[in-house]
Amino acid sequence: MKQISERIFYVGVNDDDKELFEGLWPLPYGVSYNSYLVVDEKVALIDTVESGFEEEYVAGIRAAVGDRPVDYLVVNHMEPDHSSLISMIIGLYPEIKIVVNPKTVPMIKGYHGVEDERLIVMTEGESICLGSCSLSFHMIPMVHWPETMVTWLPEENTVFSGDAFGTFGAVAENPVDDEGAFGQYRDEMIRYYSNIVGKYGTPVQAALKKLAGLPVKRICSTHGPIWETCISDVVSLYDRMSRYDADRGVCIVYGSMYGNTAAAAEDLAMELERRGIPYALHDLACNNSDSLGLSGALRDVFKYDTIAVGSPTYNNGIFPPVEAFMSALQARLIKGKRFYAFGSYTWAAASVRLLNERAEAMNFDVLGDGLPFPQAYTHEKCDMSAVASLLSE
């Protein structure tokens, strides 16, 4: 527990044990599930945390409010990393009212069997009074689920933003940011956004427009630090990512069976390095437990404006891990990328043609025909210097 202001207490927890968020995305630096108390004449709890942290969570709440009852639980978002302990909180505070919006109602009934009498159903802009302060509710559908809303505490210029502005990475004992926090969390914020929220650029833009009308001084997200010092950097990054705006640079993503497509990818990286072009290199077929795999590749797709994809021809198609990567791009409605394909084949060249077709279907700017090469990779067959020059233009 950490007191953040006169009325706000942080009662979130760090999860350093979970290996895969949503069962998919690696967590090398952990993740926090943030929950907050607003303490006034009435007490409001904003979101809960993932199951498995019951004891620590209740101890934090008790440390903040002692034996006082919690009057309201505000549910900004129903994904179970924030809603898992709703039933436990009801058991702890039998008189508690739960503040939701109409889209939350079937979810909270389905997950927790909450009865109508306990629910206070708010629509856009409605508020509840806690005494000297109030909480108003603003819908931000699809950031990250259709029921998602933010809670605004005008007396403290604070927005409880749900997943918006969240990041992977556990938080320090003091969860409030400092000047260095944005730099420290930037990569994990991009990875979180690209992996979890990346499909919803248009709803994120709508949410940003809504928030732009508020004099926000503090952002209390459900994951990662509380943003005060770095607000402008964080909002600007979310704005860019949700517009699919990226820096000049190349995200090289490949899979390889016997090292030939890998050798082409590595040579391309070396040629880009020589030219001073920023790049990232991701082996999707890597068994190294330190590799972020698809998760890291998606992060760097959001960082750089160019994607170079290498795949051998496999069963007359795209190598499966690379096929999964292309599907992940499509699922996230990625826009505006420059694209280049390369890869080896033994008797029939298919992968480069198919990769280009997938890229064209996403309206990417496909740079040339790509580079399919037969059998072993050699410098004589493959002029990666020319490819690097093309990608550097």
Stretch that binds ligand FEO, among 77-85, 210-218, 257-265, 275-283 (CB under 6 A): 77-85
Question: Between residues 223 and 358, which has the closer beta carbon with respect to ligand FEO?
Answer: 223
Stretch that binds ligand FEO, among 74-82, 126-134, 273-281, 383-391 (CB under 6 A): 74-82
Residue whose pair of structure tokens reads 């390889």 in the numeric block: 256
What CA–CA distance (Å, rounded) separates 323 from 328? 9
Question: Between residues 31 and 211, which has the closer beta carbon with respect to ligand FEO?
Answer: 31
Instruction: Report whether 206 contacts 168 (CB < 8 A).
Output: no
Beta bridge pairs of residue 62: none
Instruction: Report whether 73 contacts 86 (CB < 8 A).
Output: yes
Smallest distance from ligand FEO to CB 21, Å: 8
Q: Which residue lies nearest ligand FEO, judged by its C-beta? A: 79
Of the residues 15, 79, 147, 283, which one makes contact with ligand FEO according to CB under 6 A: 79
**Letter for the amino acid at 190?**
I
Q: Please enumerate in sequence order all residues whose Cβ is within 8 A of that of 314, keeping only pairs 6 or more positions apart, or say none.
A: 257, 320, 351
Stretch that binds ligand FEO, among 58-66, 79-87, 173-181, 378-386 (CB under 6 A): 79-87
Pattern 227-246, binding to ligand FEO, x per CB under 6 A? --------------------
2 forms part of the interface with ligand FEO (CB under 6 A)? no
332 forms part of the interface with ligand FEO (CB under 6 A)? no
Question: Between residues 145 and 244, which has the closer beta carbon with respect to ligand FEO?
Answer: 145
Of the residues 222, 256, 295, 311, which one makes contact with ligand FEO according to CB under 6 A: 222
163 forms part of the interface with ligand FEO (CB under 6 A)? yes
Of the residues 7, 77, 112, 358, which one makes contact with ligand FEO according to CB under 6 A: 77
CA distances from 313 to 175, 342, 354 (A): 48, 10, 9
According to DSSP, the β-strands at 13-15 and 31-33 are antiparallel
Q: Please enumerate in sequence order all residues whose Cβ is within 8 A of that of 252, keeping only pairs 6 or more positions apart, or say none.
A: 265, 268, 269, 272, 279, 280, 281, 282, 308, 309, 310
Question: Between residues 61 and 196, which has the closer beta carbon with respect to ligand FEO?
Answer: 196
Q: Which of 241, 196, 235 is nearest to 216 (CA)?
A: 235
Smallest distance from ligand FEO to CB 22, Å: 8
188 forms part of the interface with ligand FEO (CB under 6 A)? no
82 forms part of the interface with ligand FEO (CB under 6 A)? yes
Q: How many residues bind ligand FEO (CB under 6 A)?
A: 8
Smallest distance from ligand FEO to CB 48, Å: 11
Residue whose pair of structure tokens reads 């459900």 in the numeric block: 222
What CA–CA distance (Å, rounded) separates 338 from 393? 11
Instruction: Report whether 126 contacts 104 (CB < 8 A).
Output: no
Beta bridge pairs of residue 194: none
Burial 381-392 (b: 16+ CB within 10 A, else e): ebebeebbeebe
**Letter for the amino acid at 7?**
R
144 forms part of the interface with ligand FEO (CB under 6 A)? yes
What CA–CA distance (Å, rounded) separates 325 from 319? 10
147 forms part of the interface with ligand FEO (CB under 6 A)? no
81 forms part of the interface with ligand FEO (CB under 6 A)? yes
15 forms part of the interface with ligand FEO (CB under 6 A)? no
Question: Between residues 47 and 323, which has the closer beta carbon with respect to ligand FEO?
Answer: 47
Smallest distance from ligand FEO to CB 123, Å: 21
**Letter for the amino acid at 10?**
Y
187 forms part of the interface with ligand FEO (CB under 6 A)? no
Smallest distance from ligand FEO to CB 33, Å: 7
For the record, the structure tokens of 357 come out as 């077709």
Q: Is the dihedral of CA 115, 51, 34, 328 positive or negative?
A: negative
Smallest distance from ligand FEO to CB 204, Å: 13
| Residue ranges binding ligand FEO (CB under 6 A) | 77, 79, 81-82, 144, 163, 222-223
